[in-house]
Amino acid sequence: MGKRSWMAKGLSASRPMTGEMGHERALVAFDFDGTLTVKDSFNAFLKWRAGGKWTRGVIRLTPSLIAYVFDRNRAKLKAAAVQEFLKGATVSQIETDARAFAEAFAPSLLRPDALAVWRSWRAKGAKLVIVTASPEVTVAPFARGLGADLLIGTRLMCSEDGRILGGLDGNNCRAKEKVARLREVFGPDVRLTAAYGDTSGDTDMLAIADEKGYRVFRGRPAT
């Protein structure tokens, strides 16, 4: 049997990936970085894509990194990283690069125990949603490969001709913003059957879940 592609055709981030978004099935939300994966996928993607330019880019980010130590503003730091490493690239280029990154690194990034729980919920017919602070455009290939019903993540500001401008389009998708984005899709009274996360940025989402899985996944890939 041929290798299964991590990128299905005809699907897009922020839209249902299988079926309709009603409430007749259990609704289960997973954080991505640190929960489904062993580390931050966006930093890994940026480093992989930058190649030999990574160190120079990080050095230029030093003022933003120092500012983060004091203000703990993750959105501001993320916007600076997007400005440094992605500004000027077309969305199409980033989508292609994200697909290649997922194809190459999914086996070494995804936690086996998290995947087992994901597949268990899928076997039960649950609607599976990834809710992440990472950009939707970089997580989308993973979401499609996993068969997620929906991906909710941070959006990047783009020009009318489809180029990355170097900022965030809206709020960083963490903490209360995760719940706000879920309510946009599922309504103000949304209740999750289960939710899984690993940081303080997930606790608001876990608070609206009947089953709260906080740092329950610790498995590491064999590869």
Strands 192-197 and 150-154: unpaired
Do 204 and 179 meet the contact criterion of CB atoms below 8 Å apart? yes
List the pLDDT tens digit at each of the 223 positions of the chain. Answer: 333 333 333 333 343 343 344 447 899 999 999 999 999 999 999 999 999 999 999 999 999 999 999 999 999 999 999 999 999 999 999 999 999 999 999 999 999 999 999 999 999 999 999 999 999 999 999 999 999 999 999 999 999 999 999 999 999 999 999 999 999 999 999 999 999 999 999 999 999 999 999 999 999 998 6
Question: 140: how many CB neighbours lie within 10 A of its CB?
Answer: 25
Residue type, 48: W
Distances (CA, A) of 10 to 15, 141, 155, 174: 11, 12, 20, 27
